[in-house]
């Protein structure tokens, strides 16, 4: 693996401006990539997991269509594009309900891309809503969590490519995994990147501030956009609002997002999703690919688990229908 600390240092030491364009455009891309890039430019994404879906000690509580509809009604005034994590346990209803409520774009996630039920559900959503479903993400941090290899991921992409060749495909990993030399061959098989880039997990986080936190995300995006030569969407970043005794709070969360909005206006080459839609206290009992105890996992939402907006939302202009 590359010397990630060296990469981060060089990113932070250089200027903050985004590159005007990535390098030479990729020649082999899904026909639907232009629709994805239009959504990147024109729509406001948020990473969404239903409030009704919980996984505690391996036991799944399935989200109902009614709870999903309630979630999406809360989100719709401020967001018109979604990125999901799964295509089962209730998530198979997301595209249908999003279409009813006037969302403009959905990137459908599969938690386990070898799961035949998830594949079937994802393909159904993409075919039923060809204008709404602008991409598929095959797994979230599978390589980081050692649930699969780059070769496994390449096989999953090839499988879905055969089923829905028109839909842009990707996977989701932290930026460091995509910068790993072992990923180079795999990256040729996908149409865009979904990236997790969390400043709170960097050693310098506590001594920096909103400008530096946002600059880090901008630099990571810029580096990946250049090396990948294709569209990059930051799927996860931001700050949680707790625990308070760890130095997290709602004011810092809001300050980060206002700064990232300023430093990284969306284009067809790079964009970001707000992370996450709702708090999820159950996440502290869920599998974490980083291992250890991570109490901040409960507090990433822009809304509470009860769907109440946090201060960050008040600074986010409502969208026109």
Question: Which residues, other chains included, contact 112 with Cβ-Cβ below 8 Å and sequence gap of 6+?
Answer: 118, 139
pLDDT tens track, the chain, 321 positions: 333 444 454 455 444 444 445 577 677 789 999 999 999 999 999 999 999 999 988 899 999 999 999 999 999 999 999 999 999 999 999 999 999 999 999 999 999 999 999 999 999 999 999 999 999 999 999 999 999 999 999 999 999 999 999 999 999 999 999 999 999 999 999 999 999 999 999 999 999 999 999 999 999 999 999 889 999 999 999 999 999 999 999 999 999 999 999 999 999 999 999 999 999 999 887 666 656 678 999 999 999 999 999 999 999 999 987
Is 143 in contact with 121 (CB distance < 8 Å)? no
3-state secondary structure the chain: CCCHHHHHHHHHHCCCCCCCCCCCCCCCCCCCHHHHHHHHHHCCEEEECCCCCEEECCEEECCCHHHHHHHHHHHCCCCCEEEECCCCCCHHHHHHHHHHCCCCEEEEEECCCCCHHHHHHHHHHHHHCCCCEEEEEEEECCCCCCCCCHHHHHHHHHHHHHHCCCCCEEEEEEHHHHHCHHHHHHHCCCCCEEEECCHHHCCCHHHCCHHHHHHHHHHHHHHHHHHHCCCEEEEECCCCCCCHHHCCCHHHHHHHHHHHHHHCCCCCCEEEEECCCECCHHHHHCCCCCCCCCHHHHCCCCECCCCCECHHHHCCCCCCC
Q: What is the pLDDT of residue 293?
A: 72
* Structural domains in the chain, sorted by start: 4-314 (3.20.20.80)
Instruction: Please state the pTM of the whole predicted model.
Output: 0.93
Tokens 């501030």 belong to which residue? 209
Neighbours of 206 (CB within 10 A): 9
| Number of residues that make up the chain | 321
Q: 36-61 as b/e, with b when 16 or more CB fall inside 10 Å? A: bbebbeebbbbbbbbbbbbbeeeeee
Q: What is the pLDDT of residue 70?
A: 98
């Amino acid at each position: 693996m590359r010397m990630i600390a060296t990469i981060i240092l060089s990113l932070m030491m250089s200027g903050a401006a985004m590159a005007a364009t990535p390098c030479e455009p990729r020649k082999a891309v899904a026909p639907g990539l232009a629709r994805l890039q239009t959504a990147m430019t024109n729509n406001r994404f948020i990473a969404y997991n239903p409030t009704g879906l919980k996984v505690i000690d391996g036991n799944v509580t399935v989200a109902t269509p009614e709870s999903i509809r309630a979630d999406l009604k809360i989100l719709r005034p401020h967001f018109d594009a979604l990125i999901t994590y799964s295509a089962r346990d209730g998530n198979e209803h997301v595209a249908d309900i999003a279409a009813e409520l006037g969302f403009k774009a959905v990137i459908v996630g599969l938690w386990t891309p070898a799961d035949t039920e998830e594949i079937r559900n994802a393909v159904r959503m993409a075919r039923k809503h060809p204008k709404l479903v602008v991409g598929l993400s095959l797994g979230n941090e599978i390589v980081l969590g050692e649930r699969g290899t780059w070769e496994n991921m390449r096989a999953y992409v090839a499988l879905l490519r055969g089923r829905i060749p028109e839909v842009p495909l990707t996977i989701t990993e932290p930026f460091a995994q995509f910068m790993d030399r072992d990923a180079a061959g795999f990256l040729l098989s996908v149409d865009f990147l979904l990236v997790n880039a969390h400043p709170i997990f960097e050693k310098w986080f506590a001594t920096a501030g909103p400008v530096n936190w946002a600059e880090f995300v901008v630099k990571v995006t810029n580096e990946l956009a250049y090396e990948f030569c294709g569209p990059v969407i930051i799927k996860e970043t931001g700050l949680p609002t707790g625990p308070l005794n760890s130095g997290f709070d709602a004011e810092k969360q809001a300050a980060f997002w206002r700064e990232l909005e300023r430093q990284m206006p969306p284009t067809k080459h790079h964009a970001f999703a707000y992370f996450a839609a709702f708090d999820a206290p159950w996440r502290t009992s869920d599998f974490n690919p980083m291992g250890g105890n991570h109490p901040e996992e409960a507090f990433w939402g822009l809304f509470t688990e009860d769907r109440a907006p946090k201060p960050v939302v008040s600074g986010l202009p409502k969208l026109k229908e």
